[in-house]
Structure 1
């Protein structure tokens, strides 16, 4: 990638040197890309390099192996949402998850579109219930894109395709009520909205977050990513308090 100009979503930023920053951006066609922003910690650049913001990005590198130099221009700011605890937690988690989970320079156009949709829903919805379902679906899609998808097509125990109500934590496959009889407490609840579409109630949303959270922690966010899981815990805690 000697040179690339593209729209991108800011997913993560960390300080580098005295004044610079390394930003990781999700692009539509080239996946997650890192770049060094000269002066990235300056007063002018800090409001631009915020997770969730959309930027016009220009990457330049002499070789494929070299960390690209990166210049960014703000295209759409979501900074006002970061002053609100619940939307801020949703943006922080969804962007941190993306930055931690995806390999670099691997195209994931469906994830770019879905993340942009989640962030847009957080921005547009008057209440968390309006975007929480989209967030659960994004997590489910990310698992699938990384090869850890759940099989929600039919019951792993009986073969039935109806009355699916649980997911096996061992096989990541759906289980019907009949197939789960006597083992319900060993299984993860499967919220109806993941099968039927549409919106979910708060119980279903929290079940959905438990479901995706279990598989994200087991298969994706291992070892060095404990800080990323902390961002998810903050989000779930704030959602619980919001509906209490």
Structure 2
């Protein structure tokens, strides 16, 4: 096995005294894990940060063996870790991606979308500049793994107009008329998820509530507690920032 490709660093776990097992997302080969000699040492620590773009080279003698991995830094996101909101967003998006993607399966749309979210965080560390992109990335992740939401038609009537809610059970949109009397059991659907564009803070928080519900139910469901904790920190910081 020999693979040389750009990648986004997702997670780093210490292995042995100085090494580290690194998981990274590649454009064409999906999630790849590898052992980095000295990866837990001072020289490579700034390179192996979640969100960094690297040029990785994986080598293994057999398909079953954990490949050795060497990395070259292409784009550092280290300065973003000085910004609490940006750091929380990087922690969450990378931890989520590492937790739910199977290894070795190609997800080029996810790689491109994650790359775009990280670029948006870098361009505008304040949450208003990237929170909508984050919600859309979470929706794409659900869809790519087989748990997509249908936000195009009402799950009750089949109508495509005046969609205002999402059913937490069916993962489908619900029109305002069909929701009458059941609003308390449904989640509000922010307009930016159907009409595009940006959203006000209450819309962004509504979008995060929708994706958070389905991510926990369908992908994380009781595991990946660290990833869920990272999301709780992110949402809490966004709420404090807009309070």
Fold shared by both chains (TM-score > 0.5): yes
In structure 2, what is the equivalent of residue 211 of structure 1?
A: 210
Aligned to 1:74: 73
Q: 2:123 & 2:73 partners in 1: Cα distance?
A: 19
Measured after TM superposition, the shift of residue 150 of structure 1 is: 0.1
Q: CA deviation at 1:193?
A: 0.2
| Aligned residue pair count | 243
Does residue 1:165 correspond to 2:150, yes or no?
no
Contact (CA 8 Å) 2:11, 2:23: kept in 1 or not?
Answer: yes
Q: Do the aligned partners of 2:216 and 2:222 also contact (CA within 8 Å) in 1?
A: no
Q: CA deviation at 1:125?
A: 1.5
Matched, 1:40 2:39: yes
Per mean C-alpha deviation after superposition, the further-off stretch among 199-208 and 125-134 is 125-134
TM-score, length-scaled by structure 1: 0.99
Question: Could you tell me how far apart the structure 2 residues matched to 1:131 and 1:43 are?
Answer: 31
Distance in 2 between residues matched to 1:34 and 1:111, nearest whole Å: 17
Q: How far 1:42 sits from its partner (Å)?
A: 1.0
Deviation, 1:126, is 5.2
Q: Structure 1 residue 224: deviation in Å?
A: 2.7
1:16 correspondence with 2:52: no
Going from structure 1 to structure 2, the CA distance change for 1:125 and 1:242 (only over 3 Å counts) comes to same
Following the alignment from structure 1 to structure 2, what is the Cα–Cα distance between the partners of residues 78 and 226?
25
Residues 168-225 of structure 1 show CA distances to partners (whole Å, capped at 9, x for unaligned) of: 1111010000010000000111110010111110000000000000000000012331
Provide the rounded CA distance (Å) in 2 between the counterparts of 1:199 and 1:223.
32
Q: CA RMSD in A?
A: 0.7
| Separation of aligned partners in 2, 1:85 and 1:130 | 15
Q: Tell me if the contact between 2:28 and 2:107 (Cα under 8 Å) persists in the aligned partners.
A: yes
Q: Using the alignment, how far apart are the partners of 1:181 and 1:226 within structure 2?
A: 36
What's 1:192 paired with? 191
d(CA) in 1 for partners of 2:155, 2:103: 34
Q: TM-score, normalised by structure 2?
A: 0.99
Deviation of 1:128 after TM superposition, in Å, equals 1.2
**Corresponding residue number in structure 1 for 2:86:** 87
Distance 1:126 1:6 in 2: 28
Using the TM superposition, give the Cα deviation of residue 83 of structure 1 relative to its aligned residue in structure 2, in angstroms: 1.1
